Amino acid sequence: MPTNEEKFLAKLRQPVHISFIAKYLLKVDEESAIEVINKYIEQGLVEESKNGKGYYGLTNRKNG
């Protein structure tokens, strides 16, 4: 069964705007959502889209 983290990351297969991430996925304010996103960026799992500021999605890096 997927963890909450896995479910969250699965939603980011396509770039999603930070306001949507905050309001609907994490249910927190945008500032808190950015803190969460930054942790995933540091881990190399998430990146800001090159096509739109404020949009975040999974990196193209393949594990394994």
2-51 pLDDT, tens digit per residue, is 689 999 999 999 999 999 999 999 999 999 999 999 999 999 999 999 98
Residue whose tokens read 């799992």 = 45
Confidence of residue 64 (pLDDT cuts 50, 70, 90): very low
CATH code for the structural domain at 4-58: 1.10.10
Q: How far apart are CA 38 and CA 40, in angstroms?
A: 5
Instruction: Give the pairing type, strands 46-48 and 16-17.
Output: unpaired
Structural domain spans, the chain: 4-58
